[in-house]
Structure 1
Amino acid sequence: MLSNAAKSHKIWLVGGSISERGSDGKIYNCCATYNPDGELVGLYRKLHLFDIDIPGQFTFKESASLSSGKETFSFEMPLKSSENKISVIRVGIGICYDIRFPELSLLYANQLGCQLLLFPAAFNPKTGSLHWELLGRARALDTQCYVGMCSPACNLELDYISYAESLITSPWGMVIAKGGKEEEILTANLDFSELKHVRESIPIGRQRRLDIYSTPKVVKKQL
């Protein structure tokens, strides 16, 4: 179905997430990406499983039924400008709870050269109201990338209710498009030339102290 949709509409399609049984017999939370020819570009298996317990409010243990992936996934996507010039960007994929771990997004941006990060996700109403937009903006600021978070609509008749409110954030950490609770198509024009301006204005990529982060010096002061 996703392959046919990508091919018939001549689009790149990042297909949310589904349960996938691997050749090892384990079940993964998996996101498939297709190119405009309907070809499978690759699969991403969710790295961080959603095991949480908020006393008296919400408990969920994804690891009870799913296994965690072991690899990142990014792909190159050609873009055509209004002047018909072709450029290529790199897109990094995460799923839902993955967005809470800045290390993954920073790896995509700093080591793999991604300019766009996409997170199909289904936060619940409690965590969504607290952190959904905040996380999208934070990861955009951390990486100075565009960040897209795509969610199912909020359907109160389902056993699992999604927070919804899909959004797109700029490398400045600003929300440039945001959906509501109902099913809808969210669109935005992304100017990837803006990334250069952002990264030159606030050059955190050049100012990281990797010499300290990788081998930290622990200084213990005595009282």
Structure 2
Amino acid sequence: MRVAVCQLNARDNRPANLTVARDLLDQAAAAGADLAVLPEYVDYLGPADGAPKPEPTDGEFGSFFAAAARELGMWVHAGSFHETGPDDGRTYNTTMVFDPTGRLAATYRKIHLYDVEIPGRVSYRESNSVAPGDETVVADIAGIRTGLSICYDLRFPELYRRLAVDGDAQVLVVPAAFMMHTGRDHWEVLLRARAIENQCYVVAAGQIGDHEPSRTCFGRSMIIDPWGTVLAQAPDTVGIVTADLDLARLRTIRSELPSLANRRL
């Protein structure tokens, strides 16, 4: 399966962001991708008071990416958006996967919320406005078991072990808006660790650049093989990169170094 990660700089203009996202999907299709992955909050990343109203999965956001998948004949992982939540004060941070007919094939709501206080650097409480999901999700994408996650989930290895062991995942997907001050030290390290310890491909699509005065994202979207080798990495600009996932190599790695099979806990 050929996979494309799409890296963009979403701002406070939803129509403009969606236009860029569709252009990146067009590029992915032209490059022969079977699956294209977009980053977290692909439709809007800006001041909260200007954010689009939350929607159900079959709202404007979902319809836009369902149409893109159908028109391009490609699997589309639509990053994430603000889905209508459990109450008036909170949304869900939700990702959706569409098959090449435009059918909604999987939905995942972010479980781990970014509540961080670093004095003088960042103060952010995602849980003030977002409710956590409570279900792990593994989707069959082109016949390949693919575990879903979003951004801050990356710091919780138990989630990925469950996806790999209980869900038989061979690919792990991470759409993100990883902030610059943590991304430059932790992004690649954590992604490669998740690939190595779970012997899975990792496909990570990130936001890049400034989004508002208090938020700059790291970018460096990448695709990593089960040995921890970075197969493709996006430069520090808007665009796509692709790589081919070789399941025979995955099986060889799991056979020759059977760490998943050797688990004692």
TM-score bucket of the superposed structures, by smaller chain = 0.7 to 0.9
1:196, distance to aligned residue in structure 2 (A): 1.0
Give the whole-Å Cα distance in 2 for the aligned partners of 1:114 and 1:2.
24
SS in 2 for 1:76: strand
Cα deviation, residue 159, structure 1 = 4.9
Q: 1:115-164: CA deviations, max 9, x gaps?
A: 00001001111000010100110000110000011012223666522111
Matched, 1:126 2:126: no
d(CA) in 2 for partners of 1:39 and 1:158?
37
> What corresponds to 1:163 in structure 2?
218
Name the counterpart of 1:218: none
Q: CA deviation at 1:77?
A: 2.0
Q: Return closer, same or farther for 1:40/1:158 CA change in 2, 3 Å cut-off.
A: farther
Aligned position for 1:186: 241
Is residue 2:65 matched to residue 1:10? no
* Corresponding residue SS for 1:150: strand
* Structure with more strand by fraction: 2
TM-score w.r.t. the length of structure 1 is 0.86
Contact 2:82 2:91 in 1 (8 A): yes
The superposition leaves residues 190-215 of structure 1 with CA deviations (integer Å, 9 ceiling, x where unpaired) of 101111110111111121112xxxxx
Q: TM-score, normalised by structure 2?
A: 0.73
d(CA) in 1 for partners of 2:102, 2:211: 34
Identical pairs, percent = 40
Aligned to 2:101: 37
Aligned length, in residue pairs: 201
Q: Distance between the aligned counterparts of 1:159 and 1:126, measured in 2?
A: 12
CA distance in structure 1 between the partners assigned to 2:196 and 2:140 by the alignment: 22
| 5+ long unaligned stretches in structure 2 | 1-63
CA distance in 2, matches of 1:157, 1:30: 22
Higher relative contact order (CA 8 A, sep 6+): 2
Residues in 2 aligned to 1:23 and 1:69: alpha-carbon distance in whole angstroms: 10
Give the conservation status (yes or no) of the 8 Å contact 2:86–2:131. Answer: no
- Looking at structure 2, the residues matched to 69 and 33 of structure 1 have their Cα atoms a distance apart, in angstroms, of 16
- Aligned pair partner of 1:19 in 41, 59, 82: 82
Whole-angstrom CA distance in 2 between matches of 1:157 and 1:68: 24
In the alignment, residue 127 of structure 2 is paired with which amino acid? Answer: S
Separation in structure 2 between the aligned mates of residue 207 and residue 122 of structure 1, nearest angstrom = 34
Distance in 2, matches of 1:155 and 1:181, equals: 12
Select between 194-203 and 19-28 the one with higher mean Cα deviation: 19-28
Aligned match of 1:140 = 195
- Asked whether 1:75 is paired with 2:75, we answer no
**Which residue in 2 is equivalent to 1:99?**
154
| CA shift for structure 1 position 74 | 1.4
